[in-house]
Amino acid sequence: MKNTKFNTIKITVVILVAAFFAGCSDYLDNPLKDKETGEDINLLILDFNFFNTRMTYKLLDATSGELITSTSTIRFSGENGDDIVTFSGEKNPEYVSELGQLELTVDPNVTISESSPFKFSVNVEAEGYNNLTKAFQLKNEGKKTFELYLSKTGDEDESEIGGEIDYGEGDTTIVFSKVVSDGLKSAAEEKPYKIQYEISLNDLARFKDTNGDSFFLSSKEAEEAYKNDPKNFISIFLKTYSNYAPEIDVVNIDGIPASVLFQKLETGRIEKITLVGQEVGDLNGGVVKMNSEYTEDPDPDIFGFAVFSDVWDIIGTQSVYNSLDINYTLVKASAENLCGTGSKITFQSDVISSFSIDADVYDMNDNLLTTINFKGDFPEEFTVENTPQKAVKLVFRDNNPAFKPISTLQIDDFCSGSYTVNVDPQENYEQYQIVLKAFCPDNPGIAVAPTYSGEFKIKGSDNPWQGVDMDGGVVDLLGLPGQEYELRLLWENEWEYSTLFTEFAEDGSYLHESGSDVSSELMEDGRVRIKIDHKFSQSVCDDMNW
Amino acid sequence: MNKTVFTFLLMLSVLAQAKAGENLMQSNQPDETGSGFYAGALASTNGLGLDVQYQINKRVTLKAGYETLNFNYSFNLTEDNIDYATDLNYKTGGISLLLNWFYRPALYLSGGVVINKFQPVLDGEAVSDMKYGDISIPAKDVGNFSFQFESSVKTSPYIGAGFRKFLGKKKRITYNFETGLYYMGPPELEITARGLLKPSADSAHEHKNYLEDQFSVYKFYPVVKFAIGVRLF
């Protein structure tokens, strides 16, 4: 009887304890595997926040201001040109884009400061556009947007100019000033400068046609030919472009590269020269001279033809060419040194939002000096760099649909002072937070929540893309309720799009969750947080070896 | 399959314990005539410590104990080509107040509460630059991380089973072996991170909740305990 009781208790205890332990058997499941799917869990979320300077390059049509869509090749050179890398850390000799935009960054081992500026130059070749070269000296780290305006070859002025003989004191020359056939686009426009071509009769006598035959046996013979038919004796066919905005560029002044106010006045090239009705094929030791003159008051500090070799060298008002590859850049620049860093400008708002605001900087005579982009999160302070020591006006572009037009900011001295810009949201816009996590299809264990620049707009609308500043995958922004929006990030030459609706239930949950990688929830501050699990395309993952 | 094997082994373990207790019952009838107060030391999976036991009668013994475990293990962790100097600080322990019910003279069930101090921490800091494409990211920018687990239930119910044996002619020395579990609830996770891993700690990503859910099966802390005591009076 006693043994029976003991056995009953023993068995009961054994069963109870065993059952209790059995509840822990889940301990043997691998916690790094998803409980439901058995796939690897997302253990870590990574960021690119080790990059201190992010660069957005926008290649813009100089006439329309639109991003250019033809294939472009961008190369960097100069002291720090090799320190510009992709967000996967690659240093490429050139970057090819069909989107007119590039997101690049700076090797974080390179620090940028006023005493250690980041010096580089950019060269852009784009199909259907003239090449562009420009130099930069960055004086601080941060988010930089570079707008590079390229002139379309189709937008160039075409003209044909004829020459008249000038019996000067020295060599007898043909001076080209008589316009035979004006460019169709801006021929009548009054320009503050004058360019004159000049060929001496001695040089002219050396020219050969496209078959390699000489036109004349001597300068005397050339002079005779001119006298016989001066109207049809010689013509120069030109293509020029002069619709360039002022900017800040780097010019060699007394051998020292300096950032200065700079403007290309005209770029051009000689398409062909005809002599007695035949095209010149070879200068054959002869030269063509170009002379320039600034014709308005006051004269700029620096004026003349410029050649680019990582920075601009102003070679003077005369340029001499000994081959038919004749192209030129005529510029003016200020000799005034710019301040390395200047005024501090804080953007603030009553809303929690990211922003990307463009400002055109004018002097008090309404001359455009440069353009600056401010990208960040309210409130954020920016220290502008390479600023002229003068009073300026910052005219903010009205290109952000979420914000009301921003009043012009007057600054007494662009090299100093602190200023605040208040930004108000447009009516009916709501505040949202987007949280983006991007996965690689083959490696779900790691997600990327990037610190990166993005763009946002209502899908299919004509609104301009609204720049946003994403920090660790999180971006606060303004949007209209009840809309379908697109958020896009540019990875090398590919936009990564995510689509989301700003339609939510009262509890903040997402109304379009079915079949979507988007979900939402109400935040404590009343905003809606929209969570996006985005799958990168494999090419992005390949770049990062994921 | 794993679950089946685990359950089988546990049942075997408890059966073996019960068998041992049966043998004890036959060979070592304790001094179960009255009450006594014992003090001693213990070693368990929840730490090393001290306990006192008051045997009220032959069926019931009250126990109070304190145990603590705090050890560091340093190792190098390589994750996605990043070398981290990693420290695991395994910290646990607690203050327990338990009641043992002897259903046989040497065998008992134990229950009570443990004010637990379960708090392991895994810290890591990048110690070498990270090769990234054509550049290397300085270790200071790669950053560091800290994952700290805590029990969500601080005052944890405890249940266990064990056997007790007395030694010596006067049976003044006692030792007992016990296995049990305390319920600490789904572990709570705190993540702090700087640099590359910073978003893992950002509440906006709710990664903490995600990992907590993944580790939520670990609600029980297994205890295997050996204690020895001396009768004081």
How far apart CA A464 and CA A455 sit, in angstroms, is 9
Residue pairs spanning A and B at CB distance below 8 A: 146
DSSP sequence for A268-336: EEEEEEEETTEEEEE-TT--EEEEEEE-SSSPPSEEEEEEEESEEEEEESEEEESSS--EEEEEEE--S
- Helices (H), ranges, A135-237: 201-204, 219-228
Mutate to test the interface with A, among B205, B206, B215, B219 (most CBs of A within 10 A): B205
Q: What is the CATH number of the domain that holds A114?
A: 2.60.40.1120
Instruction: List chain A pLDDT tens, one digit each, 546 residues.
Output: 455 555 655 655 665 566 555 556 666 667 777 777 777 777 788 898 999 999 999 999 988 989 999 999 999 999 999 999 999 899 999 999 999 999 999 999 999 999 999 999 999 999 999 999 999 999 999 999 999 999 999 999 898 888 888 776 667 777 876 555 544 444 446 789 999 898 988 888 899 999 999 998 888 898 888 888 888 888 999 999 998 889 999 999 999 999 999 999 999 999 999 998 899 999 999 999 999 999 998 999 999 999 999 999 999 999 999 999 999 999 999 998 899 999 999 999 999 999 999 999 999 989 889 999 999 999 999 999 999 999 999 999 998 999 999 999 999 999 999 999 999 999 999 999 999 998 887 777 788 899 999 999 999 999 999 999 999 999 999 999 999 999 999 988 889 899 999 999 999 999 987 766 899 999 999 999 999 998 877 667 776 666
Same structural domain for residues A131 and A171?
Answer: no
What's the ipTM?
0.80
Same structural domain for residues A386 and A452?
Answer: no
Q: What is the pLDDT of residue A251?
A: 96
Which residues of chain B fall below pLDDT 70? 1-34
DSSP code of A527? Answer: P
Same structural domain for residues A285 and A187?
Answer: yes
Residue A294 lies in a domain: yes
Of the three residues A129, A153, A177, the one that is the final residue of a domain is A153
Which of A13, A29, A49 minimises the CB distance to B161?
A13
Same structural domain for residues A454 and A529?
Answer: yes
Name the phi and psi angles at A83, rounded to 5.
-95, 0
Question: Domains (ranges, CATH) in chain B?
Answer: 2-231 (2.40.160.170)
How far apart CA A101 and CA A146 sit, in angstroms, is 10
Taking each helix axis as running N to C, give the angle between helix A2-22 and helix B2-27, from 0 to 180 degrees, rounded to the nearest 10: 150
Q: In angstroms, what is the C-alpha Rg of chain B?
A: 23
The residue range of the domain holding A203 is 156-333
Q: What is the CATH number of the domain that holds A509?
A: 2.60.40.2070
Residue A23 lies in a domain: no
Determine which helix (DSSP H) or strand (DSSP E) holds A119, and give its type and residue range. Answer: strand A118-126
- CB of A141 within 8 Å of any CB in chain B? no
- CB of A31 within 8 Å of any CB in chain B? yes
Which of chain B's residues have a Cβ under 8 Å away from the Cβ of A529?
Answer: 204
Single-letter code of the amino acid located at A365:
N
B195 vs A89: CB contact, 8 Å cut-off? no
Which of A13, A47, A433 minimises the CB distance to B196?
A47
Give the 3-state DSSP-derived string for A26-49, with helices as H, strands as E and coil as C: HHHCCCCECCCCCCECCCEEECCC
Q: Which two tokens stand for residue A450?
A: 């990037």
Q: Which two tokens stand for residue A55?
A: 């660069």
Same structural domain for residues A143 and A160?
Answer: no
A501 bridge partner residues: A484
Closest to B84 (Cα-Cα) out of B74, B72, B93: B74
Q: What is the pLDDT of residue B73?
A: 94
Which of chain A's residues have a Cβ under 8 Å away from the Cβ of B203?
Answer: none
Same structural domain for residues A206 and A300?
Answer: yes
Q: What is the dihedral of CA A476, A479, A484, A489, to 10 degrees?
A: -40
Q: What is the pLDDT of residue B144?
A: 92
Q: What is the CATH number of the domain that holds A418?
A: 2.60.40
Which of chain A's residues have a Cβ under 8 Å away from the Cβ of B109?
Answer: 13
Of the three residues A333, A364, A392, the one that is the final residue of a domain is A333
Which of chain A's residues have a Cβ under 8 Å away from the Cβ of B135?
Answer: 85, 89, 91, 107-109
Residue A254 lies in a domain: yes
Same structural domain for residues A317 and A459?
Answer: no
Handedness of CA A333, A338, A341, A346 (dihedral sign): negative
Residue A11 lies in a domain: no
Same structural domain for residues A435 and A515?
Answer: yes
How far apart CA B222 and CA A190 sit, in angstroms, is 91
- CB of A23 within 8 Å of any CB in chain B? yes
- Asked whether the beta carbons of B121 and B106 are under 8 A apart, the reply is no
Same structural domain for residues A477 and A345?
Answer: no
Residue A361 lies in a domain: yes
Who's near A305: CB < 8 A, 6+ residues apart?
A: A290, A292, A314, A315, A316, A317, A318, A319, A328, A329, A330, A331
Same structural domain for residues A122 and A261?
Answer: no
Same structural domain for residues A448 and A468?
Answer: yes
The count of structural domains within chain A is 4
Alpha carbon of A21: minimum distance to chain B alpha carbons (Å): 7
Same structural domain for residues A99 and A145?
Answer: yes
3-class secondary-structure state, position A120: strand
How far apart CA B166 and CA B230 sit, in angstroms, is 10
Residue A7 lies in a domain: no
- Asked whether the beta carbons of A305 and A195 are under 8 A apart, the reply is no
Q: What is the pLDDT of residue A200?
A: 87
Residue A249 lies in a domain: yes
Residue A58 lies in a domain: yes
Of the three residues A153, A177, A206, the one that is the final residue of a domain is A153
What does pTM read for this prediction?
Answer: 0.83
DSSP sequence for chain B: -HHHHHHHHHHHHHHHHHHHHHHHHHH-----SS-EEEEEEEEETTEEEEEEEEE-SSSEEEEEEEEEEEEEEEEEEEETTEEEEEEEEEEEEEEEEEEEEESSSSEEEEEEEEEE----EEEEEE-SPEEETTEEE-HHHHEEEEEEEE-S-SEEEEEEEEEEEEESTT--EEEEEEEEEEE--SPEEEEEEEETTHHHH-GGGTHHHHHHHHTTT--EEEEEEEEEEEE--
Which of chain A's residues have a Cβ under 8 Å away from the Cβ of B197?
Answer: 44-47
